[in-house]
Amino acid sequence: MNIRLDPSDGVPIYAQVVRQVQALVAARRLLPGQELPPIRVLAEKLLINPSTVVRAYAELERLRVVVKRSTAGTFVADDAATVARAACRDALAGRLDQLLAEARTLGIDLDELLSLLRERHSLLEAAHE
């Protein structure tokens, strides 16, 4: 499980863990039934306090992305991909709303914004080839 934290992001560390696990599940890089790393292991890997991982796992459980199996560990829930994908789409929609509002403020119409989006998409695709 590849998680990258950015303390300067302004988003609490536990929320960054939640967001990235949701993204991994939505992208099906974490599959239903797959075990997440134990709390201490993930905390050591990320160089964070174990209580931060506890909080992130609790939030993921509340969001129905993971399930705890008493002493067996924390696992990706059976319907997690659907739940996580919906949450990721909602988050992306919020960011798009901000982008559209900023474009409106700058006098950039939808056609110009879509052209810029396609241009940036092409550049990113080329960089990943």
Q: What is the pLDDT of residues 18-47, one digit of tens each?
A: 999 999 999 999 999 999 999 999 999 999
- Closest alpha carbon to 26 in 66, 82, 92, 90: 82
Per-residue pLDDT, averaged over 110-123, amounts to 95
Domain assignments of the chain as residue spans, ordered by start: 7-81
**Calpha distance 78→64 (Å, rounded):** 9
Q: Which of 48-60 are b and which e, b meaning 16 or more Cβ less than 10 Å from the residue's Cβ?
A: beeebbebbbebb
Q: What is the pLDDT of residues 58-86, one digit of tens each?
A: 999 999 999 999 888 999 999 998 988 88
Strands (DSSP E) contained in 1-129 are 66-69, 73-76
Class of domain 7-81: mainly alpha
Q: What is the pLDDT of residues 79-98, one digit of tens each?
A: 998 988 888 899 899 999 99
102: left (phi over 0), alpha (psi -120 to 50) or beta: alpha
